[in-house]
Structure 1
Amino acid sequence: MLQLAGVLADETHPAELTLKSLDPHEHAVVARGERRFALDLNWSGVRRLCHQPGCDNQPVDNQIVVCTEHLAQCDVHALLTMTRESGHYAAPETDPALLEGLPEPDLLVTAAVGIGAYTEVVQAWLDTCFIPLNEIDDMLFTEDRALAMRHSLERERLRLDRVAGKEARRLRGDTRMCQACGTQLLGWDMRAHPLYCSRACSPAHPPAPFLAAFPV
């Protein structure tokens, strides 16, 4: 219980602990608000659990609060929330070059491609992790620092475009026609699901019920 108290000490939204399940010989699952924890009753360990009720996997990290399996099932609102949380967590790094190539945005944009939300998610990452392009000159007062930020921002945008393109090709596979209108798929509209020719044809992704309470 002391380990659990330590884990909960940094929680910003106080809430009562609720017992969700109990195996007297193995572990108990408790929840505080949206966060779930497994308490191992044999060796007194504590593990954070994926926010999806009933899932025993650990989340990616404290900002991406679902496991990799359920990340692919998130809606755009949940993805944007976790993208901004993750970006703000990384943002204090003073050298913009060290913000390039992090694994978290790769996971987030890969999930976003599958629901036709790549452009929103990649922009949320760049705007929170880096300085927005139109604000660089106002926030960085030396030409060298401003230039370094611009270069890092554009390199990361291009890198994430490549990550997204790879996932789009995987999802499209051998499909050659738009699944809505039958138009031949010649390229990928980054605003749409890869199986559709445009955002107009791409279906809206329904809210994910286990993350519907997430603010945006």
Structure 2
Amino acid sequence: MASLAFQQLRDLVELQEALLDSLRRQIAVQEETSVSKIEYEGVVKKLEKEEEEHAKTKNNLDAVSEQLEFALGEIDVLSKQLQREKQAFDSALSHINNKVLKHSIQKDKLISKCSEIENHILKQEDVLNDKENEIKELQLMINRQKQTLKKQASDFKIQKQQECYIAEMHSRPLLLSALLDRLATCTSTHPANHLASPVTTRIG
């Protein structure tokens, strides 16, 4: 905006300078052709007025030029500051991008590690399930063996009782026969004692 105003003022100054040159040439021509005093004074007044306007315009141009130079200086300062801020921003952005990339790589490594651990845990769970099933089968086998041993022990006990009973039944006739033989011997040897005291031997 300031640059446009400066250019417009410069164009105006150049136009006024051209006009002044034209008036000077007119005066010179009029002096050569001996124009009337009234015309001469009119032209001189017009020239003086144009010179006054030109001086004002030039003063405005100088003021605008100073403002333009000041604005250009501020723009240069701001441009340098913006460049420094841009470099600082680029540096910070690069640092952040590197940090994000590092965290992303670390995150991928952690995800991969977690997947490996999860797969290992799943494999261990499969092994544990197989072991548990094997243990259950062994427990069932042990329970069946216990039942079999318990039944065998019971059968063995019954068999032993039966054998004892059979042995006892076999031994009773022999014992009865021995007692009868002994009784007969005692009777024949001591008939009086036999009549006096009855036999108190218990037959089992």
Class of the TM-score when normalised by the shorter of the 2 chains: under 0.3
- The structure richer in helix per residue is 2
Greater radius of gyration (CA)? 2
Q: TM-score, normalised to structure 2's length?
A: 0.22
Q: TM-score, normalised to structure 1's length?
A: 0.21
